[in-house]
Amino acid sequence: MIETRILKNPTAEDFSVAGDLIREGKLVAFPTETVYGLGADGFNAKACDKIFAVKERPADNPLIEHVCSLEMVDRVAREIPLAAEKLFAAFSPGPLTLILKKRPEIPSEVTAGLDTVGVRFPDHDFARAFIKAADTPIAAPSANISGRPSPTTAQAVFEDLHNKIPMIIDGGDCNFGLESTIVDCTSEIPTILRPGAITREMLVEILGEVQIDSALKDSDAVPKAPGMKYRHYAPRAALKLFNQDSLDEVIFTVKNFNRVGLLASSETLEKIPAKISFNYGSRHDLRSIAANLYEGLRFFDDQEVDLIFAEETVETGLGFAIMNRLRKASSNDF
Ligand code: AMP
Ligand code: MG
């Protein structure tokens, strides 16, 4: 058992202690603008193995290498195609992961045996100070137990990983609350493997043309991002999606059964007074819905409900990423 220290208001000295832990092959959880990451030295195979053990993560699901400058990208990628250069210039630092050809020094544990590597330059002062102090790319997935909603607060990381890792850097609430957009830049036309806060519309503006991995449109297709094949983000209770057309069923169920949770917009919650509810924000504010989504799912786990009704959003812009996560959390899809 390892005692877990939570660093609140970290100082320069704290970051240097965190960097030392990484160089010793240990794990440190850190905040980013998307979700909290569970980091290890991105060149240390044994340290990266620990990530899989601690998270109970399937070995075929690769990690993302986090860098704190564009120069550092060269330490992990052996080729940067024009599309990647344009995307880094437009959106870095930011909630975007690019899939590039990997350098041979990257351990196969990080990339799950693939010839490519995910690279991300997070837009968070603490993340950057931490990577800088470690002086190495940091391999990290989300800092949750596999299959749980990703953590967007230090408290959520602590719930899942206390006594398993030595340190959590507390950066408060994550700004976006959904994992990064993943774009494969090794395919002829860049391909979105996972939707996120850098939307398809924003990518098209820079690149002209982008594809969407067929698995994002057809649940029978095999996803190119190995992690997207799992029933991720799963709350403990069954989760059912609803929209304004199916409101009657929701009202009936909430009225007649006790342990039913309602994850919905403030507008809908005004119409349905549910006993156990989580307000994810206004229907018109997708940023707020994205930022609150995983805390909502974790809230219902604590409430021990049998069924969660979750309100759908539009499918455009950030709504594409929100609906992708909601579908993955729901029991009747994927
Ligand atoms: P997480 O940060 O927990 O969301 O996990 C990292 C995500 O990045 C997973 O969905 C992985 O499948 C994906 N990923 C990492 N490296 C690659 C790669 N080389 N090719 C495709 N997907 C990747
Ligand atoms: Mg994850």
The two tokens of residue 45 are 């195979």
DSSP string, 270-312: HH---SEEEE---TT-HHHHHHHHHHHHHHHHHHT-SEEEEE-
Q: Whose CA is nearest to atom 23 of ligand 1?
A: 225
pLDDT exceeds 90 at position 252: yes
Concatenating the DSSP letter of every residue in 250-272 gives HHHHHHH-SSEEEEE-HHHHHH-
Which atom of ligand 1 is found nearest the CA of 97?
8
CB 225 less than 6 A from any atom of ligand 1: yes
Q: Is any ligand 1 atom within 6 A of the Cβ of residue 116? A: yes
Q: How many other C-beta atoms are found inside a 10 Å radius of the C-beta of residue 139?
A: 30
Q: SS3 for 37?
A: strand
48 CB less than 6 Å from ligand 1?
no
CA–CA distance, 42 with 89 (Å, rounded to integer): 23
Distance 305 CA to ligand 1 centre (A): 31
Model confidence pLDDT, tens digit, residues 139-192: 999 999 998 899 999 999 999 999 999 999 999 999 999 999 999 999 999 999
Question: For the segment 59-113, what is each residue's pLDDT rounded down to a tens digit?
Answer: 999 999 999 999 999 999 999 999 999 999 999 999 999 999 999 999 999 999 9
| pLDDT score for 190 | 98
Give the residue-averaged pLDDT of 271-278: 92
Q: Give the number of other Cβ atoms within 10 Å of residue 166's Cβ.
A: 16
Cis peptide before 137 (omega within 30 of 0): no
For residue 231, the one-letter residue type is: R
Q: Would you say 309 and 303 are in contact if contact means Cβ atoms under 8 Å apart? A: no
The β-bridge partners of 65 are 119, 139
267 CA from centroid of ligand 2 (Å): 30
Give the Cα separation of 125 and 13 in Å (integer). 15
**CA 228 – ligand 1 centroid, Å:** 8
The residues placing their C-beta within 5 Å of ligand 2, an ion, are 141-142
Position 231 scores a pLDDT of: 67
CA-61 nearest atom, ligand 1: 12
Shortest-distance atom of ligand 1 to CA 64? 15
| Predicted pLDDT of residue 333 | 45
Cα 157 to averaged position of ligand 2 atoms, centre (Å): 12
Q: What six digits make up the tokens of 159?
A: 């719930």
Query: How far away, in angstroms, is 66 Cα from ligand 1 center?
Result: 12
**Tell me, what's the pLDDT at 304?**
84
Helix, strand and coil in the chain, % to nearest 5: 35, 20, 45
* Atom of ligand 1 lying closest to residue 142 CA: 3
Instruction: Determine if ligand 1 sits within 6 Å of the CB of residue 228.
Output: yes
134 to 101, 109, 111, 138: CA distances (angstroms): 23, 19, 20, 8
Q: Calculate how far, in angstroms, residue 238's C-alpha sits from the geometric centre of ligand 1.
A: 26
pLDDT of amino acid 235: 80
H/E stretch holding 29 reads strand 28-30
Expressed in angstroms and rounded, the spacing between residue 258 Cα and the centre of ligand 2 is 32
pLDDT at 324 over 90: yes
Could you tell me which of 145, 133, 198 has the C-alpha nearest to residue 169?
A: 133
The CB of 141 under 6 Å from ligand 1? The reply is yes
Pair of tokens at residue 297:
């799912």
pLDDT, mean of residues 198-203:
98
Domains in the chain, start-ordered, CATH in brackets? 5-180 (3.90.870.10), 238-329 (3.40.50.11030)
At 238 the three-state DSSP class reads strand
CB of 182 closer than 6 A to ligand 1? yes
Q: Give the side-chain half-sphere CA count within 13 A for 240.
A: 15
Summarised one tens digit per residue, pLDDT across range 2-37 is: 999 999 999 999 999 999 999 999 999 999 999 999
CA angle at 303 for the pair 298 and 304, rounded to the nearest 5°: 100
DSSP E strands: which ranges in 46-157? Answer: 64-66, 96-101, 116-120, 138-140
Q: Where are the beta strands (DSSP E) in 78-223?
A: 96-101, 116-120, 138-140, 167-169, 181-184, 191-194, 211-212
Ligand 1: residue whose CA is nearest its atom 12: 227
Whether 287 shows a pLDDT value over 50: the answer reads yes
Question: Quick one: pLDDT band at residue 334, thresholds 50, 70, 90?
Answer: very low
Residue ID of nearest Cα to ligand 1 atom 10: 227
Residues 246 and 262: beta-carbon distance below 8 Å? no
Which residues sit opposite 41 in a β-bridge?
Answer: 138
153 Cβ closer than 6 Å to some ligand 1 atom? no
pLDDT over 90, % of the chain: 89
pTM summary value: 0.96
